[in-house]
Structure 1
Amino acid sequence: MHPNPAFRQDDRALYEALIEQVGFGMVFADTPDGPRVAHTPLLSTGDGAIQFHLARGNALTRHLAGCNALAVINGPDGYVSPRWYADPAQVPTWNYIALELEGPVRRMDADGLQGLLTALSQQQEERLVHGAIWTMDKMPKEKLRAMLAGIAGFEMEIRAWRPTFKLSQNKSQDERERVAAGLEVEGSPAIARLMRQLGDAQ
């Protein structure tokens, strides 16, 4: 989390929206083999937890249950050039959105894992424009059982939410608009849009 309090948003609904929209993140934990990270789809339960799954062979899988872990979801980002300020005698920076979640992890049972995969695939399939929605019942039962045996499901109880919404809030409104316009022109429209939606709300 960025140390400047200007870059924080105290909005749980916004955090939940970021998890849902991005849907993917990193889970970090310390293990007897050293610190490890896994990249995985993430699903919010809506009541203060996130769920995810890992391959059984992943370096984190055998260590996660019962440990305290950190999950990170990254939103849009973009390089900010000093040339966009009225006074260019400033340093470059980077605008970005990130959410850190910390808490204890438990391993899910087989029913919980299947429920997670069903909810996750439904959430993502409904976003696709073309073709019929795929559902897990389209898989032969034996093949599904074999695939489920190769992964493990986990749930993290979120005890700490640490957001960073670095959107040039430490600059004037005119300067923020200049930066947003620069980001937009240079191919970072998502962070520019969020600067206009959220940056002025501070």
Structure 2
Amino acid sequence: MHPNPAFRPRQDDLAALLVREIGFAAIFAGTPDGPRVAHAPVVLSDDAATLQFHLARGNGLTRHLAGATALAVVQGPDAYVSADWYVEEAHAVPTWNYVAVEMEGPARRLGEAELVAQLDALSAQHEARIGANPPWTRDKMDRNYFAKLTGAIVGFEMRIAAWRPTIKLSQNKPADERARIATAIEATGHGALAHLMRELGGDRKSA
């Protein structure tokens, strides 16, 4: 992650907010077969102390993850920044603006009831987002079919020992230049990143 402190979020709860809003992560860990990554929807606890997710039993991480230290990465919008968008082109290079949150900690395997609770929390959260009325719940499923599907996955919980968020939105540039870059990024089809630049870019400059 980018070491420049200018790109660390100033709001204490911003990293957790982004994890909840994006809701999908890449889960990394070392295994005897080498490093592996899995991609999964995630549930962050109310106190932002744990992150839950589930993987297919056949996933290359599943049988090695319990007791291991895992790294979860949630990525937001990103986009290329052309050096031509700066006033002083002769002293500028192309770069990349992006939003990413790393969380690291030990993982444990969930019991069956905990896995079902995780699945219920996931569906409730996202059904509410899409405005489903009434929302989908597992009560609509055949119980035997639900049991068959849950038997094919394994739930995990990672206790978050370290957060490493990076919100790189041209905070190290003057306000007028940052506004111009946001407009250029929006014109290339990256409206979400441009919006974040305007909302979260701030006026802080780095040395």
Q: TM-score, normalised by structure 2?
A: 0.94
Q: Please tell me whether the aligned partners of residues 78 and 96 of structure 1 are also in contact (alpha carbons under 8 angstroms).
A: yes
Write the distance in 2 (CA, Å) between the matches of 1:150 and 1:82.
Answer: 49
Look up the SS of the partner of 1:91 in the other structure.
coil
> What residue in structure 2 maps to residue 105 of structure 1?
107
* 1:118 CA drift (Å): 0.2
Write the distance in 1 (CA, Å) between the matches of 2:41 and 2:203.
Answer: 30
Write the distance in 2 (CA, Å) between the matches of 1:107 and 1:201.
Answer: 44
* 1:16 CA drift (Å): 1.5
* AA partner of residue 190 (structure 2): S
The sequence identity of aligned pairs, in percent, is: 54
> What residue in structure 2 maps to residue 151 of structure 1?
153
* 1:11 CA drift (Å): 3.0
* 1:87 CA drift (Å): 2.1
Q: Please tell me whether the aligned partners of residues 79 and 92 of structure 1 are also in contact (alpha carbons under 8 angstroms).
A: yes
**Alignment of 1:37 onto 2:37:** yes
Q: Please tell me whether the aligned partners of residues 74 and 97 of structure 1 are also in contact (alpha carbons under 8 angstroms).
A: yes
Look up the SS of the partner of 2:122 in the other structure.
helix
* AA partner of residue 68 (structure 2): C
Match of 1:136 among 111, 130, 138: 138
> What residue in structure 1 maps to residue 80 of structure 2?
79
> What residue in structure 1 maps to residue 57 of structure 2?
56
Q: Please tell me whether the aligned partners of residues 68 and 104 of structure 1 are also in contact (alpha carbons under 8 angstroms).
A: yes
Look up the SS of the partner of 2:27 in the other structure.
strand
Dislocated runs of 4+, deviation >6 Å: none
* 1:201 CA drift (Å): 5.2
Write the distance in 1 (CA, Å) between the matches of 2:124 and 2:182.
Answer: 34
Between the two proteins, the alignment pairs up a number of residues equal to 202
Look up the SS of the partner of 2:202 in the other structure.
helix
Write the distance in 1 (CA, Å) between the matches of 2:56 and 2:133.
Answer: 28
Write the distance in 2 (CA, Å) between the matches of 1:103 and 1:143.
Answer: 33
Any gaps of 5 or more consecutive residues in structure 1? none
When the two chains are superposed, the root-mean-square deviation of aligned CA atoms in Å is 1.2
Q: Please tell me whether the aligned partners of residues 16 and 46 of structure 1 are also in contact (alpha carbons under 8 angstroms).
A: no
Write the distance in 2 (CA, Å) between the matches of 1:125 and 1:98.
Answer: 25
Deviations 1:68-91 (A, max 9, x none): 010000011111111211122221
Q: Please tell me whether the aligned partners of residues 175 and 203 of structure 2 are also in contact (alpha carbons under 8 angstroms).
A: no
> What residue in structure 1 maps to residue 177 of structure 2?
175
Quickly say closer, same or farther: Cα 1:119–1:130, change in 2 above 3 A.
closer
Any gaps of 5 or more consecutive residues in structure 2? none
Deviations 1:51-102 (A, max 9, x none): 0000000000000000101000001111111121112222111000000000
Q: TM-score, normalised by structure 1?
A: 0.96
Write the distance in 2 (CA, Å) between the matches of 1:13 and 1:71.
Answer: 17
Deviations 1:19-55 (A, max 9, x none): 1111101000000110000000011012211000000
* AA partner of residue 162 (structure 1): R
Look up the SS of the partner of 1:2 in the other structure.
coil
* AA partner of residue 39 (structure 1): H
**Alignment of 1:184 onto 2:193:** no
